[in-house]
């Protein structure tokens, strides 16, 4: 730490500690030690940094037999082993911010520990009561089920959902990622019967059923968007998709594709469904310039058609820090190549769902 115009502040944190945590998959525990060096030390350091370095040993021992306040925050999940540079740098800034908030916080705002696995026998029994939609070429099962918030099925979905979302810098910060909508939605599941584990899931909201039981407020999308008359008229024949995840162990597999096979099987059984819709998020862990480029590109090439602009209005619209990034090419593929190159410079890439939904 050094004295500057803004007071005593750390220099820029190097994200190397996060790279080590990612390699070892070890949690990061923020610990704030409420101590500081003498004003003379900071004054000399401000004049000449080498002087401060020479005085550091003396400063270290001057605090002997002194009690210092210590605040320990909640552990933070490490970034995934192959995390992009932009994600690591954003998490580094977030941890630094949390650390300096610890002395003033009555309670650390960090994440709670993910819930431990429940009873495996109860989960297997719950899975056996779900509807089998089909098998994948590698022997996994595509299933459809529902459950109460305290059921073994939803408990495991919420636990694995939280693990998967935290691995990309998102997540609810709670032991399980569940909400009031889960009991009213159907859960499309990818189940590994050999390993007896949940691979991934999609949440499906049947429009006609939700309207009959809860009205328009029964749709999760309603919490994020104002649904216009045009979209509301389509809801009886619509299926809302969302909250999809694949657990990290299966990221380099065809698991997401298998879940889409399941959606296709579901639609084949329900030909009255004509529309698919739902929200897709951009992780706040991405740097703001990367998010701005993503929003600008998708708005340009995949924005609402003329006459459909009022179908849904975001309750909290995305706001650019300045002028929106300019897209020079009107050719989609050329502009996409440029976007990927720009994101790579910031250590990021196009999020998986955005890429898969539009390519």
- Rounded distance between C-alpha atoms, residue 256 and residue 279, angstroms: 17
| Tokens standing for residue 304 | 């609402």
For residues 81 and 199, the model is more confident at 199
Which range among 60-64, 260-264, 299-303, 351-355 shows the weakest confidence by mean pLDDT? 60-64
Torsion, Cα 152 157 159 164, to 10 degrees, reads 160
Would you state the pLDDT for residue 53?
67
Would you state the pLDDT for residue 226?
92
- Rounded distance between C-alpha atoms, residue 151 and residue 182, angstroms: 11
Mean pLDDT for 2-20 is: 72
Residue 10 φ/ψ, nearest 5 degrees = -70, 155
Mean pLDDT for 158-185 is: 91
Residues with Cβ < 8 Å from 227, sequence gap 6 or more?
216, 219, 221, 235, 311, 312
Class of domain 120-277: alpha beta
Would you state the pLDDT for residue 213?
96
The mean of the pLDDT values for the chain is 86
- The pLDDT > 70 percentage for the chain reads 85
- Rounded distance between C-alpha atoms, residue 95 and residue 98, angstroms: 5
Would you state the pLDDT for residue 94?
82
**pLDDT, tens only, 214-229:** 999 999 999 999 999 8
Cβ of 118: how many Cβ atoms within 10 Å?
15
Would you state the pLDDT for residue 309?
65
Which range among 20-34, 81-95, 152-166, 211-225 shows the weakest confidence by mean pLDDT? 81-95
| Tokens standing for residue 282 | 């951009």
**pLDDT class of 50 with cuts at 50, 70, 90:** low
| Tokens standing for residue 187 | 């859960």
**pLDDT, tens only, 191-213:** 999 999 999 999 999 999 999 99
**pLDDT, tens only, 232-284:** 999 999 999 999 999 989 988 999 999 999 999 999 999 999 999 999 988 87
Domain segments of the chain as ranges? 2-101, 120-277, 288-358
Q: pTM of whole model > 0.85?
A: no
- Rounded distance between C-alpha atoms, residue 30 and residue 109, angstroms: 12
Dihedral sign for Cα atoms in the order 193, 196, 199, 200:
positive
Residue 4, pLDDT above cutoff 70: no
Highest mean pLDDT among 25-34, 215-224, 326-335: 215-224
């Amino acid at each position: 730490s050094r004295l500057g115009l803004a007071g005593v502040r750390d220099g820029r944190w190097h994200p190397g500690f996060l790279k080590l945590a990612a390699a070892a998959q070890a949690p990061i525990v923020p610990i704030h030690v409420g101590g500081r060096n003498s004003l003379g030390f900071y004054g000399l350091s401000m004049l000449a940094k080498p002087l401060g370095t020479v005085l550091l040993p003396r400063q270290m021992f001057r605090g002997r037999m002194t009690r210092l306040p210590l605040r320990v925050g909640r552990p933070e999940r490490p970034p995934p082993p192959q995390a992009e540079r932009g994600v690591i740098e954003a998490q580094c800034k977030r941890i630094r911010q949390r650390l300096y908030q610890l002395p003033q916080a009555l309670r650390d705002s960090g994440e709670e520990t993910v819930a431990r696995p429940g009873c495996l026998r109860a989960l297997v029994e719950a899975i056996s009561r779900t509807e089998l939609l089909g098998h994948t070429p590698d022997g996994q099962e595509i299933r459809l089920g529902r459950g109460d918030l305290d059921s073994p099925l939803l408990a495991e979905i919420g636990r694995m959902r939280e693990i998967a979302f935290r691995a990309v810098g998102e997540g609810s910060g709670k032991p399980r990622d569940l909400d009031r909508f889960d009991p009213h939605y159907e859960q499309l599941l990818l189940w590994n019967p050999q390993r007896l584990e949940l691979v991934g899931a999609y949440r499906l909201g049947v429009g006609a059923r939700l309207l009959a039981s809860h009205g328009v407020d029964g749709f999760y999308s309603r919490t994020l968007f104002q649904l216009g008359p045009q979209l509301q008229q389509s809801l009886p024949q619509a299926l809302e998709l969302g909250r999809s995840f694949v657990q990290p162990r299966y990221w380099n597999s065809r698991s997401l594709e298998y879940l889409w096979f399941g959606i296709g099987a579901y639609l084949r059984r329900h030909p009255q469904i004509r529309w698919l819709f739902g929200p897709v998020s951009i992780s706040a862990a991405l740097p703001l310039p990367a998010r701005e480029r993503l929003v600008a590109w998708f708005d340009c090439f995949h924005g609402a058609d003329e006459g459909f602009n009022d179908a849904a209005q975001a309750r909290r619209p995305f706001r650019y820090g300045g002028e929106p990034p300019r897209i020079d090419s009107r050719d989609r593929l050329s502009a996409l190549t440029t976007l990927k190159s720009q994101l790579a410079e910031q250590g990021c890439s196009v999020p998986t769902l955005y890429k898969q939904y539009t390519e």
